[in-house]
Structure 1
Amino acid sequence: MVINNLLLKLKNRDADNIKKTQEVLLSMRGKIEVLIDIQAEINIRPGESNYDIILITKFASLEDLDKYLIHPNHLEVAKFIGSVLDTQASVCYSL
């Protein structure tokens, strides 16, 4: 199993914007066949140097992760994220 973690810091860090971003991320659930599981969790300890949301996605293989990255639904969500994103960091690993 491949797990991809994406940390997102938003330009507008108010609670409503963070919640909307979480909802957009979770809108991919059930729409991308290679996406085994998805979580989008809001940071409960906000701070200037902290990130706002962690996106955790799970795939059977790196090939499936690559398919996810080019899936039309993911590309639509990525376009929205690009419009609200300040910075990001990621860690991808296998179990």
Structure 2
Amino acid sequence: MIINNLLLKLRNRDTDNIKKTQEILLSMRGKIEVLKDIQAEINIRPGGSNYDIILITKFSTLEDLDKYLAHPKHLEVAQFIGSVLDTQASVCYKL
């Protein structure tokens, strides 16, 4: 199992914008066959240096992760994220 974690810090960090971003991330659920599981959790301890959302995605293989990254639904969501993103960090690992 491949786990990919993406931390997102948004430019506009108000509650409504963070919630909307979470909903858009979760809109990929059930739309990308290789995506085995998806979570988008909002940070409950916001602050200046903290990130706003963690996106956790799970795949069977690294090849499936690559297919996800190229999928039209992911590209649509990524375009939105790029428009609201301040900074990001990621960690990908194998279980």
TM normalised by structure 2 equals 1.00
CA deviation vs aligned residue, 1:31-86 (integer Å, no higher than 9, x gap): 00000000000000000000000000000000000000000000000000000000
Aligned residue for 1:27? 27
**How many equivalent residue pairs?**
95
Sequence identity percentage: 87
Matches within 5 A, 1:58-77: 58-77=58-77
Question: Matched residues in 2 for 1:8 and 1:16: separation?
Answer: 15
Structure 2 stretches of 5 or more lacking a match? none
- 1:37 correspondence with 2:17: no
TM normalised by structure 1 equals 1.00
Aligned residue for 2:4? 4
Runs of 4+ in structure 1 deviating by more than 2 angstroms, as ranges, are none
Deviation for aligned residue 1:28 = 0.1
Aligned residue for 2:92? 92
Question: Matched residues in 2 for 1:80 and 1:46: separation?
Answer: 22
